Chain A
Amino acid sequence: MEHQYAQALWRIVEKGKTPKDAVANLRRVLERHGRMRLLSKIGRAFARIAARESDKRAVVLSVAHAKDEAGAKRAAKEALRAMDSSALEAEVRLDSTLIGGWRLEGRERLVDASFKKYLLSLYNRATQ
């Protein structure tokens, strides 16, 4: 139940209603239905939705070494544009398991230009 309320709250805020008004409306509805005890649970569910949505919007650019960052940002420029993002917005993370190259993930998209991916596909093709 709390999940549905939290989702409705999220949608209302997304549509432009101020959080203050939205919460006030929610309180009124809950009071009318005698469900005030749900409020704290709705709060927690809302936080989960917010975290998930924030993760969805995040764009992470992973590189194997710090020195590769600039090159990766240049190489990933096109891919970032396709994601409606820019190099400035992307969070850069170090992932040594990539060996080399870069990997861009976010907004339901994945562009993997890492050496690891290439070597793995090479291994799979050679051993098949």
Chain B
Amino acid sequence: MNNLVVEKIIREIETFAPAAESEHVGAVTAVGDGVVAIDGLSKAVMSEIILFEEGKGASLARSMEAQGELYGVILNLEEDGVRAAILGDTARVSEGMTVKSTGRVLSVPSGEELLGRVVNALGEPLDGKGPFKKTTLMPVERQASGVIDRRSVSEPVQTGIKAIDAMIPIGRGQRELIIGDRGTGKTTIAIDTIISQRNEPKERRPICIYVAIGQKESKTARIVEQLRKERALEYTIVVNAPASAPAALQYLAPFSGAAIGEYFMDKGKDVVVVYDDLSKQAVAYRQLSLLLRRPPGREAYPGDIFYLHSRLLERAACLSKEKGGGSLTALPIIETQDGDVSGYIPTNVISITDGQIFLVSELFNKGIRPAIDVGISVSRVGSAAQKKAMKAVAGGLKLELAQFRELEAFMQFAQDLDKATAERIASGQRMVEVLKQKNGAPIAMELQVAILYAAGQKFFADVPAAKVTAVEAQLAGFFDGQYSKTLTEIKKSGQLSDELKKTLDIAMNEFKLAHKEFFIVNS
């Protein structure tokens, strides 16, 4: 035993004063599948934390060997007792065990110390980097900010993804759903958004929180590693409730993520929280509700499944200047089955959020990535936050792409196309190529503006469609290297003035002259 511990023990013994405080208790009458029925605790309140007393009847030595304290959270108050979810290993709970009321509602620690760390739904560190020293407890369940405390969304969250920043812009404080089948790139969009925040100036950079719900541990480990490699972990907190965690923790994880984020929001900072994914949280909540014997409704989900998601997503806000001006942007993810957006949970979350990014397997398999279906993807409030420069270049993009998709279908039946239609199809094909983007490679807003301006000026019209992506990458490198001042100017002013447009035109001509080999054929 080291000296520090010995000193601590001596100090404690010297100040020993046996306190016989009365505690409110109950006894476990039934336990199973992560849920306990408790007799007693008649003064307990909803969402109160309870402590299971494991050491009763065990020797001091055995009690000292116990693996930390075991908590539960009260979810049902009934006539003759309470029902609670166990926040840990169910096997540690036995019938007749004494349960103590703590008088605290469920809360998680939050603070700057959590940045770069991986925690569980209770805010306990999972990354082996030691406990937190100075944190603030934030209630897991909290009333969302009211109307008076909010202001309109006015600042963008730069995802670094051209297709999103141009056509489905997201504002700070918005709730934008990412929806699609499995393996269509939903998590990739969220992670790229987090990585993209490194392009933001440090003082305006949002704190990112990635909440993994019901995911494989290997996937979360891969994401953490990617964030670390990309230097994005330093401003990110990962809340992990893996598939192997009890249903109660999977249900609580998004609320914990929101609570951790609210700490920063209250301090006037911007926060982006990714909930990956809420369909798994809904399943965990259904499991809990059925075990708690709450009446099942549609698809066996409980009646308050809508409220589960609405109260979580309502916590996303853009606070008024009086409240510090912080914001919490929510990026919930929902997994669909076979592209069916009319499912129970998808329609619920679609109706709650301020827009959705819909990803399609068909596009993904065609190699169009991100596989965004522009037709049904929408951002209801984000355009107010879009930079003027981006607005200027992205104006007709969505319409052009939507028209192209229609013509593309028509093209399969028509043999001969008139010139105008053929041109529109060719232009659409090139635009689709321009909007393709590799994962893990978010692009700064100013560079996106320059590329989209070039595309809008039919710069790629003479490039074979198959080579557009390669030429675009070269052009981006050229802008970045030779015209970095112009890009900085766009970034600083947020506008695309006539002067800047002229400079970009000159740059494009220079590039054309230097790379004539790319511009040969009319495909």
Residue numbers of A with Cβ under 8 A of B are 7, 52, 55-56, 75-76, 79, 82, 95, 97, 99, 101, 105, 108-113, 116, 118-120, 122-123, 125-128
Closest to B42 in A: A108
A-side binding surface: helix, strand, loop or mixed? helix
B60 adjacent to A116 (CB under 8 Å) = yes
A113 in contact with B18 given A105-B98, A128-B131 (CB within 8 Å): yes
Provide the residues of chain A in CB contact with B63, threshold 8 Å: 116, 120
B57 adjacent to A95 (CB under 8 Å) = yes
B55 adjacent to A112 (CB under 8 Å) = no
- Bound together, the chains give a CA A55 to CA B26 distance in angstroms of 11
- Residue B293 interfacial (CB < 8 Å): no
A108 adjacent to B40 (CB under 8 Å) = yes
A27 vs chain B, min Cβ distance (A): 24
- Residue B29 interfacial (CB < 8 Å): yes
B55 adjacent to A120 (CB under 8 Å) = yes
- Residue B24 interfacial (CB < 8 Å): yes
A126 adjacent to B57 (CB under 8 Å) = no
Closest to B101 in A: A108
A101 vs chain B, min Cβ distance (A): 7
A32 vs chain B, min Cβ distance (A): 26
Interface centre among B22, B40, B57 (most CB of A within 10 A): B22
- Bound together, the chains give a CA A123 to CA B64 distance in angstroms of 8
B23 adjacent to A112 (CB under 8 Å) = yes
A93 vs chain B, min Cβ distance (A): 11
B16 adjacent to A110 (CB under 8 Å) = no
B60 adjacent to A56 (CB under 8 Å) = no
Closest to A97 in B: B59
* 18 A-B pairs whose Cβ atoms sit less than 8 Å apart in the complex: A7-B80, A55-B27, A56-B39, A79-B22, A95-B57, A97-B57, A97-B59, A105-B25, A108-B40, A108-B41, A108-B42, A109-B23, A110-B22, A110-B24, A110-B100, A112-B20, A113-B18, A120-B55
B60 adjacent to A120 (CB under 8 Å) = yes
**Contacting residues of chain B (464-489) with chain A, CB-CB under 8 angstroms:** none
Interface centre among A55, A112, A116, A120 (most CB of B within 10 A): A112
Interface centre among B13, B18, B57, B63 (most CB of A within 10 A): B18
A125 adjacent to B12 (CB under 8 Å) = yes
Closest to B57 in A: A97
- Bound together, the chains give a CA A107 to CA B374 distance in angstroms of 63
B66 vs chain A, min Cβ distance (A): 9
Residue from the list A82, A118, A123, A126 in contact with B18, Cβ < 8 A:
A118
- Residue B363 interfacial (CB < 8 Å): no
- Bound together, the chains give a CA A126 to CA B18 distance in angstroms of 17
- Residue B521 interfacial (CB < 8 Å): no
A124 vs chain B, min Cβ distance (A): 9
- Bound together, the chains give a CA A45 to CA B503 distance in angstroms of 87
B23 adjacent to A118 (CB under 8 Å) = no
Provide the residues of chain B in CB contact with A99, threshold 8 Å: 60
B8 vs chain A, min Cβ distance (A): 4
The contact string, 1 if C-beta is below 8 Å from chain A, for chain B 13-54, is: 100101111111111010000000001111100000000000
B64 adjacent to A108 (CB under 8 Å) = no
B22 adjacent to A122 (CB under 8 Å) = no
B25 adjacent to A110 (CB under 8 Å) = yes
- Bound together, the chains give a CA A97 to CA B98 distance in angstroms of 16
A111 adjacent to B18 (CB under 8 Å) = no
Provide the residues of chain B in CB contact with A120, threshold 8 Å: 55, 60, 63-64
- Bound together, the chains give a CA A101 to CA B19 distance in angstroms of 11
Residue from the list B9, B23, B42, B55 in contact with A122, Cβ < 8 A:
B9
Known: A110-B98, A120-B55. 19 other contacts (CB 8 A): A56-B39, A79-B20, A82-B22, A95-B57, A101-B18, A105-B98, A108-B26, A109-B23, A110-B22, A110-B23, A111-B21, A111-B23, A112-B23, A113-B18, A116-B63, A118-B16, A120-B63, A125-B8, A126-B9
Provide the residues of chain B in CB contact with A97, threshold 8 Å: 57-60
Provide the residues of chain A in CB contact with B59, threshold 8 Å: 97
Provide the residues of chain B in CB contact with A119, threshold 8 Å: 60
- Bound together, the chains give a CA A10 to CA B58 distance in angstroms of 35
Provide the residues of chain B in CB contact with A101, threshold 8 Å: 18
Closest to A3 in B: B80
Provide the residues of chain B in CB contact with A76, threshold 8 Å: 20
A122 adjacent to B40 (CB under 8 Å) = no
- Bound together, the chains give a CA A97 to CA B55 distance in angstroms of 9
- Bound together, the chains give a CA A84 to CA B85 distance in angstroms of 31
Residue from the list A52, A105, A113, A116 in contact with B20, Cβ < 8 A:
A113
- Residue B5 interfacial (CB < 8 Å): yes
- Bound together, the chains give a CA A126 to CA B3 distance in angstroms of 11
Provide the residues of chain B in CB contact with A105, threshold 8 Å: 25, 98
A122 adjacent to B20 (CB under 8 Å) = no
A51 vs chain B, min Cβ distance (A): 11
- Bound together, the chains give a CA A123 to CA B66 distance in angstroms of 12
Closest to B53 in A: A110
- Bound together, the chains give a CA A108 to CA B43 distance in angstroms of 9
B8 adjacent to A111 (CB under 8 Å) = no
A31 vs chain B, min Cβ distance (A): 27
Closest to B8 in A: A126
The contact string, 1 if C-beta is below 8 Å from chain A, for chain B 371-409, is: 000000000000000000000000000000000000000
